[in-house]
C-alpha cells in the first residue's frame, strides 16, 4: 500500500509503506488474492411519498437544481481561522427535504453495497468539515470521483450538520458515485450523548432542533452497513463478527433498523482489531468484541475476501495496516477533537485492486504545522 502525503501545505508528496513508520520507502501492495421497523419510520416514509409524489420532468429538474445549488453552497463555505466556518444559513426547510429524499435514496439500495474498484475510501469525519472540504478538493467530488464513506459523520466536531447534509446531497444527486455507510455515531444511543443532538438544538432551537435530530436519525436508520469492492475488499465501520458466516447475511437486514447491543449489526459498527491469542475477545469499549489474526484469516478464507478496510479508531498516520496486512484502518479526521495530533488518511482502491493511502495534514494543528515548517 502506497502512502502519499497530501497535506494542506502544498509541498511535494512523499510515499511510503503504511507498515513502515519512518523509512519513507515507496511501496504499492496489491490486496492478497489466495429488525425491526418502527412506527415513526413507517409514518416518515409515507409522509415523504405523499410529499414527493409523482413529479413531472420540469419539477424534477427544479428539485435537482435546488439540490445542486445547496451542495455547491455548502462545499464552498468560507473557512475562517482555526477551522471555523462562516454562517452557512442552512434552513429547516432544506434539511427537511434533504432528509426525506436522502432517506428514500438509501432505502432504494441494498443493505450491502457492491461497487467496482476505482474508489476513494474515507474513515471517520466527526464534523471536521473544514478538513473534509480540503480533502475533497484533492480527491475530487462526485460525479468526477467515486467515494465511499465508512461512517461517523457527526459528533465530536462542531460541523456535523454541514458534513452530513453535503454528503447526503451528493448521494441524492449522484447515487452511483458516492456511498455512505453507517457508523456507531449514527445511532441515537451515541449521538445524543456526544454532541450531535446538542448541535441541532443550538442551531435551530430546542423544539426545531429536536425535530431536525429526529429527521437525521431516520436517515441514519436507513443507511447500509457494509460494502464490498470488486468482490475482494470488505468495508465497514467497525469490523468483522463471530456471528457472520456469509457476507450475504447483510442482505437480510430489514430497514429502517436499530442497532442491537450484541450480534452482527453491533459488531459491524463497533468491533476493533487487536493482537490477541484467540479469534475474538471482549472489547475494552464495553461493547462488541475485538478480533485477532485467526479471526480475520478465517473470515477472508471463508468469504474469499482479500482485505478488510474499516474505520472507528484514530490512528496517528491516518491509515494503519495490521493483521498480516489483511486489515486496514482509515481515519479521516485530522487533529481529532483538537487533542490528538494525528493525520487524516484516505485509501484509494484502483482498478487493479492496488490500495494507495494518502495523508492530509490539518491546517489547524499547531504541532503538525511546526513540524512541517522545520
Concerning whether 323 is annotated as a catalytic residue, the answer is no
Task: Tell me how far apart the terminal alpha carbons of the chain are, to the nearest angstrom.
Answer: 28
Residue pair 357/332 in contact by the 8 Å Cβ criterion = no
Rounded CA separation 313/283 (Å): 13
| Catalytic member of 126, 128, 185, 312 | 185
Query: What backbone phi and psi angles, to 5 degrees, belong to 357?
Result: -105, 130
With beta carbons less than 8 A apart as the criterion, state whether 150 and 310 touch.
yes
Nearest residue to 124 via CA among 290, 257, 318: 318
CA angle 1, 294, 33 (to 5 degrees): 40
Smallest CA-to-CA distance from 348 within 253, 213, 233, 195 is with 233
- Whether the bond between 143 and the residue before it is cis, its omega within 30 degrees of 0, is yes
Q: Can you give the three-state secondary structure of 152-203, one letter per residue?
A: CCCCCCCCHHHHHHHHHHHHHHCCCCEEECCCCCCCHHHHCCCCHHHHHHHH
Give the DSSP H or E segment for 4.
strand 2-5
Residue 360's DSSP bridge partners are: 344
CA angle 141-146-152, nearest 5°?
A: 80
Task: Select from 103, 244, 118, 113 the least CA-distant residue to 168.
Answer: 103
Spatial distance between the Cα atoms of 326 and 123, rounded to a whole number of angstroms: 17
Q: How far apart are CA 326 and CA 294, in angstroms?
A: 11
Cβ neighbours of residue 14 closer than 8 Å, sequence gap 6 or more: 4, 5, 24
Residues with a catalytic annotation lie at 185
Amino acid at each position: 500500500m502506497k502512502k502519499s502525503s497530501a497535506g494542506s501545505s502544498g509541498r511535494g508528496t512523499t510515499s511510503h509503506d503504511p507498515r513502515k513508520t519512518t523509512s519513507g520507502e515507496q511501496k504499492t501492495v496489491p490486496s492478497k488474492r489466495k429488525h425491526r421497523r418502527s412506527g415513526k419510520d413507517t409514518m416518515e416514509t409515507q409522509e415523504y411519498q405523499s410529499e414527493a409524489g409523482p413529479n413531472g420532468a420540469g419539477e424534477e429538474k427544479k428539485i435537482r437544481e435546488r439540490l445542486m445549488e445547496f451542495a455547491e453552497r455548502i462545499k464552498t463555505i468560507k473557512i475562517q481561522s482555526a477551522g471555523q466556518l462562516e454562517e452557512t444559513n442552512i434552513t429547516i426547510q432544506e434539511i427537511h427535504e434533504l432528509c426525506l429524499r436522502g432517506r428514500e435514496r438509501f432505502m432504494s439500495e441494498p443493505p450491502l453495497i457492491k461497487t467496482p474498484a476505482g474508489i476513494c475510501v474515507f474513515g471517520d469525519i466527526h464534523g471536521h468539515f473544514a478538513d473534509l472540504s480540503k480533502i475533497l478538493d484533492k480527491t475530487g467530488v462526485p460525479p468526477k470521483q467515486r467515494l465511499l464513506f465508512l461512517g461517523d459523520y457527526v459528533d465530536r466536531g462542531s460541523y456535523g450538520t454541514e458534513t452530513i447534509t453535503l454528503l447526503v446531497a451528493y448521494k441524492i444527486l449522484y447515487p452511483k458515485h458516492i456511498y455512505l455507510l453507517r457508523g456507531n455515531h449514527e445511532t441515537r444511543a451515541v449521538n445524543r450523548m456526544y454532541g450531535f443532538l446538542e448541535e441541532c438544538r443550538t442551531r435551530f432551537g430546542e423544539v426545531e432542533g429536536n425535530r431536525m435530530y429526529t429527521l437525521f436519525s431516520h436517515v441514519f436508520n436507513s443507511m447500509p452497513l457494509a460494502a464490498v469492492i470488486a468482490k475482494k475488499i470488505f468495508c465497514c465501520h467497525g469490523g468483522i463478527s463471530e456471528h457472520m458466516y456469509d457476507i450475504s447475511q447483510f442482505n437480510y437486514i430489514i430497514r429502517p433498523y436499530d442497532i442491537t447491543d450484541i450480534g452482527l449489526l453491533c459488531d459491524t459498527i463497533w468491533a476493533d482489531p487487536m493482537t490477541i491469542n484467540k479469534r475474538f475477545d471482549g472489547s475494552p469499549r464495553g461493547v462488541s468484541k475485538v478480533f485477532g489474526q485467526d479471526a480475520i484469516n478465517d473470515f477472508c478464507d471463508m468469504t474469499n475476501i482479500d482485505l478488510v478496510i474499516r474505520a472507528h479508531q484514530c490512528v496517528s498516520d491516518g491509515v494503519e495496516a495490521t493483521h498480516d496486512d489483511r486489515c486496514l484502518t482509515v481515519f479521516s479526521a485530522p487533529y481529532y477533537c483538537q487533542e490528538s495530533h494525528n493525520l487524516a488518511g484516505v485509501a484509494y482502491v484502483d482498478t487493479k485492486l492496488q490500495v494507495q493511502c494518502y495523508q492530509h495534514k490539518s491546517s489547524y494543528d499547531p504541532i503538525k504545522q511546526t513540524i512541517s515548517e522545520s
